Structure 1
Amino acid sequence: MMYSLQGLAVLALSYFAIMANCAPRLKSKRSNMVCRVEEQLLRYMRHKFHALSDEAQKIDTDTDTRLIGRDLFQGLRGQGKCYVLKEVIDFYLGNVLAPEELHTKYSHLKEIKEFLALLIKRHMSDCNTEDRTQANHNINLLKQKLNQLSEKGVAKVIGELFMLLQEIGKHCSAPPTNEPGH
């Protein structure tokens, strides 16, 4: 797809405007909340996650396997679920989504990877659980499913990124704060 220079400039300026708008929200909330993500922050990226997932779902023909689902949270409560999500994101970023050539295949992937990296670094870094044994067991099951998918695993992971964002909102989100600038 060819873009005009003016169109690319508008796209770049829009991206920087969104990121500048998100920057204050990416500050850690450790003073009053541990392991919480503001719902508003997730809403900023919702459309891009959805568009990227739609792209990958066209390639992903395995409709039976779910990586992000009930099995991932089995036997966990409270922050344990958020801890698992943080660990899954970290695994995805370091292993599955790491190859640079994926950026040319999937639009918005680079931006979403940057967003997820900031999310776990600034909002989810304190996520922990008392039941690490169960959490790690669930994460290992996800990794086993992913290994069974082999080459199709990347499309499955990218296709489920929107579900991942929804689960973060469900298990790790905090209502918007009433701080100035929010």
Structure 2
Amino acid sequence: MQMATIPPSLFLLIFLWSTELGAEGQEVHFGSCWVQRAILRDLWRAFQAMKNTVQALDCDTDTRLLRQEFLRNASWAEICHLTNSLLDFYLKNIFKNYKTKAAKLGILPPFMSLANNFFAILQKFKRCKERGLLPSNESAQRKFELFQQEFTQLNPEVRLTKALGEVDILLTWMEKAFRS
């Protein structure tokens, strides 16, 4: 009995189509915006690959930039606004200024993966904002300003490492918000 073989190109096309269908059903909603779960998994994977290296350099364990009370009893609008502000801040300040050090530490591939995925999520928020689905929020803005004040009070080298080492806190917040 002869078995039919599927040409490799057809197999690849079927595989990509089926994974895309699966990914579509795996979106998580963040207020009126949504992000594919695969992006969250990629964020965690990238952070885990560099976590020990970065957190070992953080000698200031008494200071916390991303405080738990920022999201305690927060509304969707507040969570969305704060997350959008933080992602933008990380891209413009942390990833931009830590790239050379990440290369020296040997963590550039996961570092860049993290930055690229932050950018992808920020683009989703940008589209939501353009459609009026991401309203401004005064309470979230005050919390973001507290984060920025704490950040700027630290030594420039220390604050970059501190912020990068706290990405797991941000990712945990995002996961909790997506599950709610």
Question: TM-score, normalising length from structure 1?
Answer: 0.68
The match for 1:166 is 172
Q: From the CA coordinates, give the structure whose radius of gyration is larger.
A: 2
Counterparts of 1:58 and 1:156, CA distance in 2: 10
Structure 1 residue 75 displacement after superposition: 6.3
The match for 1:101 is 100
Structure 1 residue 103 displacement after superposition: 3.5
Counterparts of 1:36 and 1:67, CA distance in 2: 26
Which letter maps to 1:133?
A: E
Choose between structure 1 and 2 for higher RCO, CA contacts under 8 A separated by at least 6 residues.
1
Counterparts of 1:80 and 1:87, CA distance in 2: 11
The match for 2:148 is 143
Q: Partner of 1:58: helix, strand, or coil? A: helix
Kept after mapping to 2: 8 A contact 1:38/1:174 = no
Kept after mapping to 2: 8 A contact 1:36/1:174 = no
Counterparts of 2:42 and 2:70, CA distance in 1: 25
Structure 1 residue 164 displacement after superposition: 1.2
Counterparts of 2:120 and 2:71, CA distance in 1: 23
Q: Provide the identity percentage.
A: 22
| Structure with greater proportional helix content | 2
Counterparts of 1:58 and 1:114, CA distance in 2: 24
Which residue, 108, 114, 117 being the options, matches 1:115? 117
Which letter maps to 1:114?
A: N
TM superposition outliers: structure 1 runs of 4+ over 6 Å: none
Q: Deviations over 1:116-172 (max 9, x none)?
A: 0011102x3326246x2111110000001101112200111110112211111111x
Q: Partner of 2:58: helix, strand, or coil? A: coil
Question: TM-score, normalising length from structure 2?
Answer: 0.69
Counterparts of 1:96 and 1:46, CA distance in 2: 17
Q: Deviations over 1:12-34 (max 9, x none)?
A: xxxxxxxxx78x959xx8xxx72
Kept after mapping to 2: 8 A contact 1:57/1:159 = yes
The match for 1:80 is 78
Superposed CA RMSD in Å reads: 2.7
Kept after mapping to 2: 8 A contact 1:39/1:174 = no
For structure 1, the 5+ residue unaligned runs are 1-20, 176-182
The match for 1:15 is none
